[in-house]
Amino acid sequence: MTEEQNVLLDTMQRPLRDLRISVTDRCNFRCTYCMPQEVFGRDYQFLRHDQVLTFEEITRLTRIFVAQGVEKVRLTGGEPTLRRDLPKLIEMLATIPGLKDLTLTTNGSRLSTMARDLKDAGLQRVTVSLDSLDDAVFRAMNDVDFPVSNVLDGIEAAREAGLSPIKINMVVKRGVNDHTVLDFARHFKGSGYIVRFIEFMDVGNSNGWAMEDVVPAAEIVRTISNELPLEPVPPQYPGEVANRWRYLDGSGEIGVIASVTQPFCGNCTRLRLSADGKLYTCLFAAIGSDFRALLRGGKSDDEIRQALAKLWSRRKDRYSEERSQQTPKLAEKVEMSYIGG
């Protein structure tokens, strides 16, 4: 079979290229836009150990998916570094033929002690979520009083370990941390890190999303460019989610992810695997397809491949293009902490 024959296309002719794997639904932060304390409190029932996919199951699925066109794998959570023996999983995934990019999204809380092990296992790069450099704002947003200095230490450890390029994501919410955007840009300008500002999105049903809380990407760019002039940069590849901008003085670039005001569904090539083995064809989906049942039901690789092909060929998701002010209140959607970003 040729490479062209392996490419899966959905109903909008979008190929499958990216797989995001949630390795745990647990997190040590309680970020207000993702896992608010009032929902994810002490009594919240996370997945049991036997419900979570094993490393062998994750690797088997990934190998099948790579054979069907997946080139990039991103490990997510919850907070993926909480998964015990995570470097072992990375080592297993890194040996899969045809996998071109293996990366991880983390809150950075454990990077200072884990970065070297992750790199040695085969991880290529990391994306760190960091919502403000103002310590008081950051502690309030993570809602567990975690200091920003510890995340910055983790980012530096990742750089020293050779995990590159390092991207730093800031979710911007009106009236919460939008006043710290310019300081954030100033701090990382010229550092070699790629900062990306993300519009506050209506993922899940527990974060109290409202359109008035969204700071449009255009406003973010304007705020930064008024002091630190920017110019647009073409995308590096089809389906790139961030609009890229570079500083006119050549000191680096930023990205803005405008899922709300400038939807990019038409180029979406991503599939998401939850920690308990459900496949979701959209970040804003309500229902996933149970691939853990296929794995543990004795299905062959070919049967799993056929199930994947059937799922993707029927895909027609374009939630962000259809979103309205009322949509988040009407639609039940899977929580970000369960499916990953």
Domain containing residue 75: CATH number: 3.20.20.70
* Measured distance CA(230)–CA(247) in Å, rounded: 5
Q: In what order do the strands lie in the sheet with 194-199?
A: 230-233, 243-247, 253-257, 194-199, 167-172, 125-129, 101-106, 72-76, 18-22, 270-273, 278-280, 289-290
Q: What is the DSSP string of 7-35?
A: --B-TT-PBP-EEEEE--S--S---TTTS
pLDDT of residue 3: 41
| d(C-alpha 248, C-alpha 253), whole Å | 9
Q: What is the pLDDT of residue 4?
A: 43
At residue 120, the 3 state secondary structure works out as helix
- Report how far residue 300's alpha carbon sits from residue 97's, in angstroms, rounded to the nearest whole number: 19
- d(CA 243, CA 263) in angstroms, rounded, equals 11
Residue 259 CA to residue 309 CA, distance in Å, equals 27
CA 202, 266, 168, 233 torsion-angle sign = negative
Whole-angstrom Cα distance, residue 74 to residue 83? 15
pTM of the model: 0.91
**Cα–Cα distances in angstroms (integers) from residue 38 to residues 30, 33, 42, 187, 256, in the given order:** 10, 12, 9, 33, 30
Please give the pLDDT value at position 321. 53
Q: Report the domain count for the chain.
A: 1
| pLDDT in 10s for each residue of the chain, 341 residues | 334 446 899 999 999 999 999 999 999 999 988 898 999 999 999 999 999 999 999 999 999 999 999 999 999 999 999 999 999 999 999 999 999 999 999 999 999 999 999 999 999 999 999 999 999 999 999 999 999 999 999 999 999 999 999 999 999 999 999 999 999 999 999 999 999 999 987 765 656 668 889 999 999 999 999 999 999 999 887 667 889 999 999 999 999 998 888 766 778 899 999 999 999 998 777 789 999 999 999 999 999 999 999 999 999 876 555 655 445 554 565 676 777 76
Per-residue confidence (pLDDT) for residue 341, from 0 to 100? 62
Q: What's the Cα-to-Cα distance from 32 to each of 201, 217, 317, rounded to whole Å? A: 12, 20, 27
Could you list the residue range(s) of the whole structural domain that residue 39 is in? Answer: 3-339
